Each structure stands twice: as C-alpha cells, then as structure tokens.
Amino acid sequence: MLTTDRVAGGALVLLALFTLWESRRLPLGSLRQPGPAGAPVVLALVLLGLGAVLVLTGRRATALAGVGFPEWRHAVAILAVCAFAALALERLGYRATVTLALACLLGVVERKGIVFTAVFSLALALASFLLFDTLLRVPLPRGPLGL
C-alpha cells in the first residue's frame, strides 16, 4: 500500500542515491583527512538508512490517495519567487532581489498591507545586507549600479 511515509522515504532514498552518485567524482579522503566528498557521503548514507527505515515502517501512515493539498497555489507562488531570486540575484543585486522577493511573498502570497509589505521588505533587505556584507564581510552581489 502506498502511504505518505513510504513515498517520503522513497524520495529520501532517491536523494541519497543521487548524492552518492554525484559524490563519486570527488576524492573521499580518509578519516584523518577527509576529502570534499567525505561529508556528503556520510550524510547521504545516513539519509539512505533513515529513508529505508521510513519505507519499511510506513505502512500505518495515511494512504497517499487520501491526502489533499489545498495550499498548492501558495507552494507554486513560493517556488516561483525562489526561482526568481536565484535568477535575479547576480543581475539585480542582493538588496533589490531580496526586497522584491519579500514584497511578492508578503504582498501577493500573504496579502499583507502595502505599507507593511514595503517597510518590512526594504528593512529586512537592508538590515541583512548590513549584517552580512558590512559586519561579517561576506561579499554579496551589488547589482548593475554597484550599490
């Protein structure tokens, strides 16, 4: 019987197998000096084991056919905003991208007021830029104007 736990466990197993497959190109190293594939391989093996346990013990979970997803529109909107942010970050810069993404999420998805949305989006984008770029010295994309 196909249950939610078994589907989730199967997805975790597939993700772990994909990670192991992609990690084969990197040197594994040793316990004393692990290579770049060390941590991903260990985490993938743990994920593989837990996913397999979930598949094997998931028979009492809710049947997959009985699950509805009434919030699918929100999920699609959030995914679209994430895709926008990934594509726009280098082109528009950190501050503009984060401001626009937050404004879309708050104004369109969550239907907050325009003043709250504008103030919160701009304040969070500027404050996080100040924290990471200025104080912690993590270089963030500046955008076309170099701001």
Looking at the domain assignment, is residue 86 inside a domain? yes
Q: Looking at the domain assignment, is residue 11 inside a domain? A: yes
In this structure, the answer to whether residues 62 and 78 fall within a common structural domain is no
Check residue 69 and give its pLDDT: 82
Number of domains in the chain: 2
Are residues 62 and 23 located together in one domain of the fold? Answer: yes
CA-to-CA separations, 76 to 72, 80, 102, 108, 109, in angstroms, rounded? 6, 6, 15, 12, 10
Please tell me whether residues 80 and 124 are part of one structural domain. Answer: yes
Q: Which pLDDT score, from 0 to 100, does residue 84 have?
A: 97
Domain hosting 94: range is 72-135
**Domain end point (choices 36, 66, 96):** 66
Which mean pLDDT values do the consecutive 10-residue runs of the chain (147 residues) have?
A: 91 96 87 86 96 93 83 92 96 95 95 96 96 93 80
Under a CB-based contact definition with an 8 Å cutoff, are residues 37 and 23 in contact?
A: yes
The domain boundary residue, chosen from 66, 81, 107: 66
Q: Are 62 and 79 in a shared domain?
A: no
